[in-house]
Amino acid sequence: MSTQIVRPTADGTINWSSVPASAPHFQYLDEVTPNDAQFVWSLLSGDTDSYKLAVATFTPTRKPASVTVRIRAKYHISPGGIVTVTLTDGDGGTATAGVSKTLNSATPADFDLVFADGFGGSPWKRSDFSDLYLMFTKSGAGFPAVTQAYATITDSGPPRFKVDMDKDPAIEATGEPSPSMRAAADDAPSISAALLESPEFRVVMDRTPSIDAAGEG
């Protein structure tokens, strides 16, 4: 399992306001160290702001499992406000389910919003991250403000390949796995070193072309 962070790189559809009042808005959200004196905020219910995120990359044996969006947010003017966060396929494209956060303090705080499912409720795919946008929607009364935002993508790690080790000629001849079989087993987190050293260890593999080609079922 590994993670990668993608931050806003450009504005999409902009309807919110900002402090200071200038564009582009993404520059107030993309800091590694947040600047709470700069933020985007909304006055009107239903208004949206969207931002293109940096493109995520994956090796052939890894695929995305979930996305966690961190926002650093507050209310700009009392009373508080509600911000709903979604991820979209392109600017205004197919969206994930929204995750809402009610902001009850004028002091900025960090909130982690988990998106276990991708667009339209489907599992995340590598191709989903080539044109990924982050969108804020203001709802209800109040004036929500966001000072920082980024997404952390968690992948599922290498697939748990199964191998039919009794088909390895090296095991049949010497009782030791060949280098290629050892390398295949090393890619499987469920195969321990102790098991690997046991010539009697046998596992059955159901290979599929998609797993062989891309590491995905």
Q: Are residues 187 and 147 in the same domain?
A: no
160 in a structural domain: no
**Of the residues 118, 136, 155, the one at which a domain ends:** 155
- Short-list 70, 44, 212, 7, CA closest to 140: 44
Q: Are residues 112 and 188 in the same domain?
A: no
Q: Which helix (H) or strand (E) holds 171?
A: helix 169-174
* Nearest Cα residue to 2 out of 93, 54, 64: 64
Domain termination site, one of 155, 182, 199 = 155
Flag whether 111 is in a domain.
Answer: yes
39 occurs within a structural domain? yes
Rg (Cα) of the chain, in Å, rounded?
23
Query: Within this chain, do residues 53 and 96 fall inside the same structural domain, yes or no?
Result: yes
Do residues 87 and 129 both lie within one domain?
yes
Using the 3D structure, point to which of 134, 155, 176 is the last residue of a domain: 155
CA angle, residues 147, 151, 153, in degrees to nearest 5: 165
pLDDT tens per residue across span 173-185? 555 555 655 544 4
Residue 192's pLDDT band, with cuts at 50, 70 and 90, is very low
- Which structural domain range is residue 169 located in? 165-214
Give the model's pLDDT for residue 158.
Answer: 64
When pLDDT is cut at 50, 70 and 90, the band that residue 194 belongs to is: very low
Could you tell me if 137 and 95 are in contact, meaning their C-beta atoms sit under 8 angstroms apart?
no
Distance of CA 37 to CAs 17, 28, 78, 108, 195, Å? 14, 9, 17, 10, 57
- Please give the average per-residue pLDDT across 91-106, as a whole number: 95
Quick one: how far is CA 88 from the chain centroid? 12
